Amino acid sequence: METFAEKLDRITNKKRSFLCVGLDPDPKRMPISDLLEFNKSIVDSTIDLVAAYKPNLAFYEALGLKGLDELRRTIDYIRTLSSEVLIIGDGKRGDIGHTSEAYAKALFSEWQFDAATVNAYAGLDSIDPFLSYKDKGVFIWCRSSNPGAVELQDLKIANGEQEKPLYEYMASHYYRYNLNGNMGLVVGATYGDEIKIVRTACPDVPFLLPGVGAQKGDMEEALRSGIDQYGRGLLINSSRSIIYASSGLDFAEEARIQALDFNKTIDFNLGLLGKEWSHI
């Protein structure tokens, strides 16, 4: 059976794209008020260019049951168009085992996401119910890209002789339990250092990188630090810079232009690293 990591690599190679588009509908920023139409337009104009879509559950929950119903319709719509794109439920869920079982059922059986982001603060038994869905990806929230990330995630753990930051400890800790090839890590970074550290600790799990800026320098650094030895094993998320590329009615066309530009930047940098899509 194909593992989730293999599936991710198959799709990224086939689409020649690491791009994950965050579907985060914000009524204050959407150029049209109809959430479902907004999502469908973005999907229509980008689906051939992306490896994954990542609806952030918070934005749908903030719109009540109607918002969640439109999430359901968005997922259904993507599925009717293609099976060659991952849909990642970004909810950072996690609780003690009994409750995590219910969350895993919600995300994987009810919503039928291909993968989910999870919060692993409560130890292995809190994420095991997710990992036991062998064909589903489980991206552990390891290092975030916000200013507050340093407050806890970067704390030095006194671990025998060697001190290491909490996020690195977390990555190494859980890495041992990737028995089904379906573990991934969410790793944000400012200058790529954190990504590099986690990649060293976990050489062969897929990374989901959020918060990579529009600047090409950021992208190059993130890519260089995040790829595995084959130049793969990555999804790079972009939300607002793509879905809100234009505040006018040309938002879908502009989203496509941004997605093309994003992929072109990645292609160029993969070339610099000798890891072109064609080399595999």
CB of 52 to a copy of itself, least distance (A): 17
**What is the three-class DSSP state of 163?**
strand
CB of 177 to a copy of itself, least distance (A): 11
Taking the C-alpha atoms of residue 58 and residue 115, their distance in angstroms, rounded to an integer, is 16
The interface mask with a copy of itself, positions 8-37, x = CB under 8 A, is ----------------x-x-----------
**Per rule CB under 8 A, count of chain residues that contact a copy of itself:** 57
What lies within 8 Å, CB to CB, of 170 at 6+ separation is 120, 140, 142
Stretch that binds a copy of itself, among 13-21, 32-40, 53-61, 269-277 (CB under 8 A): 53-61
Where residue 74 falls (left for φ over 0; alpha for ψ -120 to 50; beta otherwise) is alpha
Amino acid code (one letter) for 132: S
Which of 204, 203, 259 lies closest to 236 in space, CA to CA?
Answer: 259
The interface mask with a copy of itself, positions 67-106, x = CB under 8 A, is -xx--x-------------------xxxxxx-xx-xx-xx
CB of 6 to a copy of itself, least distance (A): 28
CB of 244 to a copy of itself, least distance (A): 12
Residue where the block lists tokens 């790079």: 236
Sequence-ordered alpha helix ranges (H) in 193-239: 193-201, 216-226
Question: Burial letters for 138-154: b for 16+ Cβ neighbours within 10 Å, e otherwise?
Answer: bbbbbbbbeeebeeebe
With respect to a copy of itself, which residue has the nearer C-beta, 95 or 253?
95
The interface mask with a copy of itself, positions 162-181, x = CB under 8 A, is -x--x--xx--x--------
Catalytic one of 15, 54, 92, 136: 92
**Among 36, 47, 149, 257, which residue interacts with a copy of itself (rule: CB under 8 A)?**
149
The interface mask with a copy of itself, positions 237-276, x = CB under 8 A, is ----------------------------------------
**Among 81, 124, 179, 280, which residue interacts with a copy of itself (rule: CB under 8 A)?**
124
Residue pair 223/231 in contact (Cβ under 8 Å)? The answer is no
Q: Are strands 156-159 and 162-165 parallel, antiparallel or unpaired?
A: antiparallel
Residue pair 110/86 in contact (Cβ under 8 Å)? The answer is no
Taking the C-alpha atoms of residue 171 and residue 153, their distance in angstroms, rounded to an integer, is 11
Taking the C-alpha atoms of residue 30 and residue 252, their distance in angstroms, rounded to an integer, is 11
Our answer to whether residue 92 is catalytic in this structure is yes
Residues that bind a copy of itself (CB under 8 A): 24, 26, 56, 58-59, 61-65, 68-69, 72, 92-97, 99-100, 102-103, 105-106, 109-110, 119-126, 141, 144-153, 155-159, 163, 166, 169-170, 173, 211
